[in-house]
Chain A
Amino acid sequence: MSEEFNCLIVGVGGQGGATLTNVIAEAATRKGLRGRMHETLGMAQRGGSVQVQIRLGSQVYSSFIPPGQADVLIALDPNEALRAADYIGKKTTIIMNTSGILPVSVLMGKDKYPDLNEEISLLKQLGKEVYAYDAYELAKQAGSIRAMSVVLLGSLARLNIAPLTRDELYQAMVDTVPKKYLQENIAAFKAGEKEIEKVLGK
């Protein structure tokens, strides 16, 4: 099953995981790629964890990504990336927003939010590459924190690791997001691309 592409998106309800999913699914459908996908019930509005599994490939039947088989992990929240560790394998590229949403237990002073440096070093040992940055900040600069997930999408597009080209993802984004938020989403997409270019030194 070499030509299979497994994309795992994790986050917290309301972070824009649905937008990201719609864009990738739309791009794949337009290209005529066969796929299966599912979203775990996150109790989205209620601050729960949300996980979307997207699988593309002619021989994909189940919507479950097998353990260790994610090609890409897009983490809208660092805590949620840790929870998804089972899916990370040596081929996994991790794109992560570093600015997390604090669970109730942290707000109430009972728990401490996971240490970012420790996490990134763990993820680097587990996966292939880790691109971690404050996507909320970049989205804010692009016009609105609403566009945070699209920043990460821009990075995915620029890395060129999906069976979808940068332009295919970009166009699907332009056609999928609400028109009145288009400008901020375009800016966010480009900010995500730039973040990768900085690392790749281009």
Chain B
Amino acid sequence: MTVIGEEGTTKLLLGNEAIARGAIEAGAHLVTGYPGTPSTEVIETLAAVAKETGMKVQWAVNEKVAVEVATGVAWTGLRAMATMKNAGLNVASDSVLSIAYSGTEGGLIFYVADDPATHAGMAEQDDRLFAKFAALPMLEPSDPQEAKEMVVAAFEISEKNKVPVMLRSTTNTAHMFGDVVFGPVKKLNRTPTYSRDIRRYTKAGPAWCMEQHASLIEKTKKAGKDADEFNRLELTDSKVGVITAGAPWNLLKEAMIRHGLNVSTLKIGVINPLPEEKIRKLLERVDSVLILEELEPLIEDYVLRILGEMGKKVKVYGKIDGTTSPVGEFDQAIVERALGKVLGKNLTPAVDPERQKLIEKAKSLSLRRPITFCAGCPHMGTYLSMLRAMRKLKYSREDVIITGDIGCTILGMNPPFDACWTEVAMGASIGLGNGFERSGIKKPVIAAIGDSTFYHAGIPALIDAVWNQTKIVVAVMDNSIVAMTGHQPTPGSGYTTTGEAAKAVKAEEIARGCGVEHVVVVDPYDVEKATEAFVEALQYNGPSVIVLRRLCAITAIRRKAIGKPLVIDEEKCTGCMTCVKTLSCSALVPVGKKVRINPDVCIGCRICAAVCPVKAIGEGSQHE
């Protein structure tokens, strides 16, 4: 949905689209970030309208670089934002902590999208704790409208208090559609200025560092006061109160309406610093309080501390007494159960056991759909070749450690390939592989890593492999795209984020530049050559890099750069099912005892042709 529109327009926007709109309204000069669910749509939305807004919109090579680039812009007095997923903040954290000490001149926002229930994999980390750790102000919205308002306010507050502001959402808010009313768009037209001030912008010497630290604490306190309108206290005459923040607020509101509840509520929008005064006011009023927060008991710990100071006995329901779990995200049932416990009522709808049995039966009949490679995915060719090379060298599956990495590349851990052994974090396939080799274990190591992941965090570990002469095969699966997160361009793609031509940074040049002497580039659709490349690399005594280069199949379809669908010669097909069992490509459809190719799905990659033992697969014309 486009986020361009007149003031006063109402549109149904995704939380992340609303954040993008907020950046436009606030007159941000630059927004950068690294793709990661559920944060990605902010930049995608802004990139789509960059020509109209004039904003600089750029994918960064990783989150740390994104934060640094945004900060450089903000230190010249312009407004900037960096976006990332939860794991991305870990990567950026070294710079974030230091930047916090220096503060900012222009408005600066670090947006992080957390993922309770790990819809997108990775850890369920609660980055509200990070704001405390970094001593930075943090805001958290509950819906798209509020998300947009918070972005606009955060730029103002950041600028006024000279401190970067963190904005946090969770999947439920980032990926929720809701009505958003457009506000006016600021045209700032500021001239960038920056003067040398090493007392503020360097970390040389403990005196300056502590001075910066003290100033950060003060700025964050003030920023919290300036954002206090986002903490909404509604006192009633009830002896029960509920404190919540973020997505659970919506569930609480609905439960209150559904059951006609009259409890006092505090909806917290400022996660750091927490609104002490409003929390005290609520606690003065009640005998028991329910803290509805997902993941860690951050608010709860604070409430307990304040109660200690107040010397008042209030029963606290939350994580500590087990009312809610620190694992997963909330839904209506969880919230109703928790409210019921505090109120001593049963708010949970009655279950009919007969009905429940039917529901369980229905669910048990449904089959899982594990995610698989798309038809024509070049990664299929890579894993097929890798496994073939192992067989040629008489290695069993157990003989070669294949460290996997983040991205579509990790789908090689699933059937039918069952290839990857590990998945840790961006770039870790290489570092971990170096470690396996150095343990002295008698197993060769292959690191399977995507191109974006290689640029993001794989390169230092490759240098480590060269420096320490590690015998490791690094397979850079270069599909020219960040496929897993929705097909963003990579530094190797030859395109910028907004589609202009750019210099392509090639993985093979990086590898050679790092000192790798055995570097080859092959097409993973060419299974024979790719297999040969793995055979050679596995026998090479030192670090080797194979760049497997072929455009992502989905991107190829979009660019209309695909081949003709193949066909199976029915007379030749023996129905051995080798193609289906080896690749389980969605274009290969068993029909009766034989296999057919679905022409709507096949893009003519020919990987299956290399697999068929009787050579029954080929171009249509050949067989017609």
Assembly CA distance A108 to B590 (angstroms): 9
With A37-B176, A41-B119, A107-B584 given, is the CB distance from A46 to B362 under 8 Å?
no
Among B48-56, B370-378, B466-474, B532-540, the stretch in contact with A: B370-378
Assembly CA distance A61 to B249 (angstroms): 9
Is A39 positioned at the interface, with any CB of B under 8 Å from its CB?
yes
A residues 17-64 near B (Cβ < 8 Å) are: 25, 28-29, 34-41, 43, 45-49, 59-64
Is A71 positioned at the interface, with any CB of B under 8 Å from its CB?
no
Whether the Cβ atoms of A64 and B362 lie closer than 8 Å is: no
Whether the Cβ atoms of B368 and A103 lie closer than 8 Å is: yes
Whether the Cβ atoms of A83 and B177 lie closer than 8 Å is: no
With A46-B372, A111-B367, A118-B365 given, is the CB distance from A62 to B332 under 8 Å?
yes
Interface size class of B (residues with CB under 8 A): 35 or more
Q: Which residues of B contact A126 (CB under 8 A)?
A: 355, 358-359, 362
Is B363 positioned at the interface, with any CB of A under 8 Å from its CB?
yes
Is A85 positioned at the interface, with any CB of B under 8 Å from its CB?
yes
Whether the Cβ atoms of A38 and B176 lie closer than 8 Å is: yes
Contact with A along B27-45 (1 / 0, CB 8 A): 0000000000110000000
Of the residues B177, B363, B416, B588, contact of A86 by C-beta under 8 Å = B363
Is A12 positioned at the interface, with any CB of B under 8 Å from its CB?
yes
A residues 123-174 near B (Cβ < 8 Å) are: 123, 125-126, 145
Q: How far is the CB of B535 from chain A (nearest CB, A)?
A: 28
Q: How far is the CB of B336 from chain A (nearest CB, A)?
A: 9
Whether the Cβ atoms of B372 and A83 lie closer than 8 Å is: no
A residues 58-88 near B (Cβ < 8 Å) are: 59-64, 66-68, 79-80, 82-83, 85-86, 88
Q: How far is the CB of B594 from chain A (nearest CB, A)?
A: 13
Assembly CA distance A67 to B351 (angstroms): 11
Is B204 positioned at the interface, with any CB of A under 8 Å from its CB?
no
Is A109 positioned at the interface, with any CB of B under 8 Å from its CB?
yes
Whether the Cβ atoms of A12 and B369 lie closer than 8 Å is: yes
Of the residues B119, B177, B359, B373, contact of A40 by C-beta under 8 Å = B119
Q: Which residues of A contact B175 (CB under 8 A)?
A: 38-39, 41
Q: Which residues of A contact B365 (CB under 8 A)?
A: 82, 114, 118-119, 122
Q: Which residues of B contact A102 (CB under 8 A)?
A: 589
Among B251-259, B444-452, B510-518, B607-615, the stretch in contact with A: B251-259
Q: Which residues of B contact A63 (CB under 8 A)?
A: 172, 176-178, 250
Q: How far is the CB of A183 from chain B (nearest CB, A)?
A: 19
Q: Which residues of A contact B371 (CB under 8 A)?
A: 43, 46-48
Whether the Cβ atoms of A66 and B367 lie closer than 8 Å is: no
Assembly CA distance A29 to B181 (angstroms): 12
Contact with A along B335-372 (1 / 0, CB 8 A): 00000000000000100000100110111011111111
Q: How far is the CB of A45 from chain B (nearest CB, A)?
A: 5
Q: How far is the CB of B352 from chain A (nearest CB, A)?
A: 10
Is B66 positioned at the interface, with any CB of A under 8 Å from its CB?
no
Is B218 positioned at the interface, with any CB of A under 8 Å from its CB?
no
Q: Which residues of A contact B372 (CB under 8 A)?
A: 46-47, 104
Whether the Cβ atoms of B554 and A105 lie closer than 8 Å is: no
Q: How far is the CB of A91 from chain B (nearest CB, A)?
A: 13
Q: Which residues of A contact B132 (CB under 8 A)?
A: none
Whether the Cβ atoms of A49 and B369 lie closer than 8 Å is: yes
Whether the Cβ atoms of A83 and B366 lie closer than 8 Å is: yes
In the complex, residue of chain A having the shortest beta-carbon distance to the beta carbon of B484? A43
Is B580 positioned at the interface, with any CB of A under 8 Å from its CB?
yes
Q: How far is the CB of A41 from chain B (nearest CB, A)?
A: 5
Q: Which residues of A contact B120 (CB under 8 A)?
A: 41
In the complex, residue of chain A having the shortest beta-carbon distance to the beta carbon of B15? A38
Whether the Cβ atoms of B251 and A86 lie closer than 8 Å is: no
Assembly CA distance A109 to B586 (angstroms): 14
Interface size class of A (residues with CB under 8 A): 35 or more
Whether the Cβ atoms of B366 and A80 lie closer than 8 Å is: yes
Whether the Cβ atoms of A36 and B367 lie closer than 8 Å is: no
Is B306 positioned at the interface, with any CB of A under 8 Å from its CB?
no
Assembly CA distance A47 to B589 (angstroms): 14
Of the residues A29, A38, A60, contact of B172 by C-beta under 8 Å = A38
Whether the Cβ atoms of B12 and A25 lie closer than 8 Å is: yes
Assembly CA distance A61 to B369 (angstroms): 30
Is A200 positioned at the interface, with any CB of B under 8 Å from its CB?
no
Q: Which residues of A contact B239 (CB under 8 A)?
A: none
Q: How far is the CB of B400 from chain A (nearest CB, A)?
A: 24
Of the residues B12, B253, B366, B588, contact of A61 by C-beta under 8 Å = B253
Is B167 positioned at the interface, with any CB of A under 8 Å from its CB?
no
With A46-B374, A48-B369, A108-B581 given, is the CB distance from A66 to B332 under 8 Å?
yes
Whether the Cβ atoms of B363 and A85 lie closer than 8 Å is: yes
Q: How far is the CB of B545 from chain A (nearest CB, A)?
A: 27
Whether the Cβ atoms of A67 and B332 lie closer than 8 Å is: yes
Binding site for A on B (CB under 8 A): 10-12, 37-38, 119-120, 143, 172, 175-179, 247, 249-251, 253-254, 257-258, 331-333, 349, 355, 358-359, 361-363, 365-374, 408, 411, 415-416, 554, 577, 580-581, 584, 586, 588-590, 600
Binding site for B on A (CB under 8 A): 1, 12, 25, 28-29, 34-41, 43, 45-49, 59-64, 66-68, 79-80, 82-83, 85-86, 88, 102-109, 111, 113-114, 118-119, 122-123, 125-126, 145
18 contacts between A and B (CB under 8 A): A29-B179, A35-B12, A37-B178, A38-B177, A41-B37, A46-B372, A46-B411, A47-B371, A82-B363, A85-B362, A86-B363, A88-B362, A103-B369, A107-B588, A108-B580, A113-B367, A122-B362, A123-B362
Top 3 closest A-B pairs, CB basis?
A82-B366, A85-B362, A61-B250
